[in-house]
Amino acid sequence: MTKIFNDPADFADEALAGFCDLHSGLVRQVPGGAVRRRRPEQPKVAVLAGGGSGHYPAFAGLIGAGLADGAVVGNIFTSPSAQQAYSVAKAADSGAGVVFTYGNYAGDVLNFGMASERLAAEGIAVENVLVTDDIASAPPSESAKRRGIAGDFTVFKIMGAAAEAGAGLADVVRLGRKANDLTRTIGSAFHGCTFPGAEAPLFTLNDKQMGLGLGIHGEPGLFDTELPPAKELGQELVARLLAETPHGAGNRLAVILNGLGSTKHEELFVLWLTVARCCAQPATPWSCRRSANWSRAWTCPASPSPSRGSTKNSNRCGQHPLKHRLTGAATPPLLAVCFRRRRTTAALRLSLSRPPWTRTTTPRAARTRSRRRGKHCTTPNRASATWTR
C-alpha cells in the first residue's frame, strides 16, 4: 500500500517533479514528462518511452545517454494524453526524427498515434514501436495482441543505444521491432497493488496463493495456484518462456528478473539460482536445447506496480548485433547515485555491464587535472558514453 503522499490526485505530478529535482543534472521536466538535461550536439533520433505512472523506473528513470531521450508520463496506470506525447516530442526533437516506444495498450496506441499524426503534419519524421512481450496475454498465433511489460527495458535499451551511435530513424525502428520479436516475458503475483488513497488493492490473493501471468495493472492472468517453492517457481517461469523461443533466435540469452516494486532483491537472488541453472541446461525438454551463452542478466524493478508483490521473468534470445546494443554504456537516473548540491550533481555513472568495446581510457593529463580539483573519480571522455563498433 502506498503510504507517502499528500493529495492522491497530485501523487503522479509530485512524484515526477521530485524525480526531476533530485536528478536535475540528468533530466529536466517539460509539459507531459521529462527529457535529457543536455541536448545533443548533432541531430540524432529521439527515442521517447512512455506510459502511465506507477511503474518507476519506467519510464522517466530510463532517460539518459544510451537509453531514452525523453519520457511521456501519464497519471497512475493511465495512458498519457496525445497532447503530453506531442509536447515531450517537440522538446526532445533535434532534427533527426522521433520514435515513440511503449507497451501495447489501447489507450497508449490511440494517444501516441494521434500525437504522431500531429507531428507528421508539421514535417517531423515520426515512428512508433510497440512492445508485445507478455506471453500470458494472448496465444502465439495472436502475438500482436500481447501486452508490453518488463520487455520494455530491452527494447528501449537497444533502440537508445542505436540512436546514440548515430543510426537513422529507419534503423532504430528496425532494431527495436527485432528486439521486441525476440523478447518474451511472464509474470507471477502474490498480492495486488493499492493506489494512493485507495482503501483496497486492485485484486486479492490468499496468503499461500500465487497468480501466474497477471499484468502489471492487475489484468487477469492464466490461473491462481498454491504458492510454490522458489525452485519450482523458477522452473515454471523458464519452461513457459523457453517453450516460445523465437525461430532463429539461437542460444544467446539476456534475462531480467523484475521485482515489480515490492519483491526484495534477496528473493530475486534466490529465484535467480534456479533460473540460471534451467537456462544453462545442456539439453532441455524445451525448444532451446543448447547451453545458454549469457549476454546479460539483471535483477531489478524494471517495470513495477506500486506496492505490488510479484516477479516477472523476461527472456530475450539475443542475436550478436543486438547484444552490442543491449550491453552498451548508458547513464540513466536508474543507474545513478546522486550526491545533490544546489548547483551541481555529482553522479556515479554506471553502465549496463560495459563490455570491452565501450571502454575508453581517460588521458593521463585529464586524470591529473581531476585529482587536482579534488574529485574522487575521473570524468569519462565523450566517447565512453556511446556505443562504438
- Output the nine-digit C-alpha cell for 161: 543505444
Distance CA 213, CA 190 (A): 11
Distance CA 329, CA 294 (A): 17
E strands present in the chain: 27-30, 33-36, 46-53, 70-76, 98-103, 126-131, 183-191, 209-212, 223-226, 252-258, 293-300, 309-317, 336-340, 345-349
Closest of 288, 358, 342, 268 to residue 21, by C-alpha: 342
Residue 63: φ, ψ to 5°: -75, 130
Beta strands at 126-131 and 98-103: parallel, antiparallel or unpaired: parallel
User: Catalytic site residues?
Assistant: 217
Helices (H), the chain: 11-22, 82-92, 106-121, 152-164, 169-181, 230-242, 265-279, 320-326, 364-372
Four-point Cα dihedral 68, 72, 75, 79, nearest 10 = -100
Give the Cβ contact number of residue 29 at 10 Å.
18
